[in-house]
């Protein structure tokens, strides 16, 4: 257990942390489970017996219990009556929840209101923005709310989740460097295998097959079938490599390829040169028995449909903190869901995938 006396001494030495709030970070230890919040620059720890709801001493993350029977995220889910998808929250929890409210996926109190629908988040909750903890717990809680109503919330991994777990903190908001100093731990240790959110992240899929649609962060490269012809095996291989350093990855060539630029977490070949051809996209869809591929990672001003609707890019720049969009599918029709509550029909896009797109590079 954390020693509160030592924590108070530490927080006193970090005067620049005053006014900082964050958390909770939930640690599973031999002595029991403990939730720790940062409240005005001070760590506040609470024992958390099984089944006890999180009771926030500051902030608004609390009021729900931890998952009693954690399990691996599904690789495949059947076609739902309706689904929604968004991507690249990047620490903008407020914008994320505002968009869900505007589109009726949650109510004014932030509780699930999408009934038996499915929400997919295509990765990159971490980095850049100052509310990544709030965004992660919002997804965790919404997953519980949705399941209780016959719905589902699924987070698939993005490259920034895998970067954080292996200690690549180039894009980490400065707030979280201070949080790590308060805990006297490297930041990735706050999401280690002994933590609730660390275990939850390590159980996520990289590619989700939802009915006739594939969801992932970067994209399926034409080279992918040579490295991972089976999506279930692909998910297992990425899970097994989470947290490995770049040096350690080099000893596992297949895992290294899956986390490199042509792998599903980083691929940009639907948007940037050299672009995948229409025939290559068709071959991928045939290989994986899907109708369309929905990806994030490459930022556009709005949701973009390419290759005659066979590829859809949903990273609509939520990371800016000024807006975002989500993709909605219902009764066979696709819509862009906007921040003002409007829904705009999504056109299929050019068949060759070009759509006048300029090359875009962003990590």
Q: Which residue has the tokens 């006014």?
A: 19
**What does each C-alpha distance from 235 to 86, 91, 208, 250, 360 come to in angstroms?**
20, 24, 9, 19, 27
Task: Classify residue 5: in a domain, yes or no.
Answer: no
Give me the residues of the chain with pLDDT under 50, please.
Answer: 3-9, 11-13, 355-356
Q: What phi and psi, each to the nearest 5 degrees, are found at residue 96?
A: -55, -50
Token pair listed for 174: 């400065």
- Asked if 360 and 299 touch (Cβ cutoff 8 Å), the reply is yes
Q: Identify the domain containing residue 254 by its residue range.
A: 76-345
In a domain, 47, yes or no: no
DSSP, collapsed to helix, strand or coil, labels residue 50 as coil
pLDDT at 8: 47
Residue 301 lies in a domain: yes
pTM, entire model: 0.93
pLDDT at position 100 is 98
Domain membership of residue 2 (yes or no) is: no
Asked whether residue 355 is assigned to any structural domain, the reply reads no
Is residue 249 assigned to a domain? yes
Question: What pLDDT, on the 0 to 100 scale, is given for residue 170?
Answer: 97
* pLDDT attached to residue 350: 66
Answer yes or no: is 22 within a domain.
no
The confidence score (pLDDT) of residue 349 equals 79
Q: What is the CATH number of the domain that holds 234?
A: 3.60.21.10
- Count of alpha carbons within 13 Å of 321, Cβ hemisphere only? 7
- Total of domains in the chain: 1
């Amino acid at each position: 257990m954390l020693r509160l006396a030592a924590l108070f001494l530490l927080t006193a030495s970090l005067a620049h942390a005053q006014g900082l709030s964050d958390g909770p970070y939930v640690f599973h230890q031999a002595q029991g489970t403990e939730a720790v919040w940062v409240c005005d620059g001070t760590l506040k720890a609470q024992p958390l017996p099984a089944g006890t709801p999180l009771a926030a001493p500051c902030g608004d993350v609390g009021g729900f219990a931890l998952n009693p029977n954690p399990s691996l995220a599904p690789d495949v889910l059947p076609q739902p009556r309706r689904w929604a998808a968004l991507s690249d929250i990047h620490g903008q929890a407020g914008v994320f929840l505002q968009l869900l409210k505007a589109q009726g996926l949650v109510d004014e109190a932030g509780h699930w209101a999408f009934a038996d629908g499915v929400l997919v988040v295509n990765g990159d909750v971490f980095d850049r923005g100052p509310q990544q903890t709030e965004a992660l717990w919002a997804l965790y809680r919404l997953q519980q709310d949705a399941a209780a109503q016959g719905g589902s919330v699924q987070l698939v991994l993005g490259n920034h989740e895998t970067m954080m777990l292996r200690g690549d903190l180039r894009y980490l908001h400065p707030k979280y460097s201070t949080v790590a100093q308060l805990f006297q731990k490297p930041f990735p240790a706050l999401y280690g295998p002994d933590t609730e959110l660390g275990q939850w992240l390590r159980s996520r899929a990289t590619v989700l097959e939802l009915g006739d649609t594939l969801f992932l962060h970067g994209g399926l490269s034409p080279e992918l079938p040579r490295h991972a012809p089976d999506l279930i095996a692909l998910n297992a291989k990425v899970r097994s490599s989470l947290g490995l350093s770049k040096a350690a990855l080099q000893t596992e060539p297949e895992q290294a390829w899956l986390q490199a630029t042509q792998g599903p977490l980083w691929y940009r070949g639907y948007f940037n040169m050299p672009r995948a051809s229409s025939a290559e996209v068709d071959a991928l869809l045939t290989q994986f028995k899907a109708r369309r591929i929905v990806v994030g990672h490459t930022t556009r001003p709005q949701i973009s449909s390419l290759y005659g609707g066979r590829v859809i890019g949903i990273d609509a720049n939520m990371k800016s903190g000024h807006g975002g969009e989500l993709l909605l599918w219902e009764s066979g029709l696709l819509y862009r869901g906007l921040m003002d509550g409007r829904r705009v029909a999504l056109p299929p896009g050019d068949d060759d995938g070009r759509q006048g797109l300029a090359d875009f590079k962003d990590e």
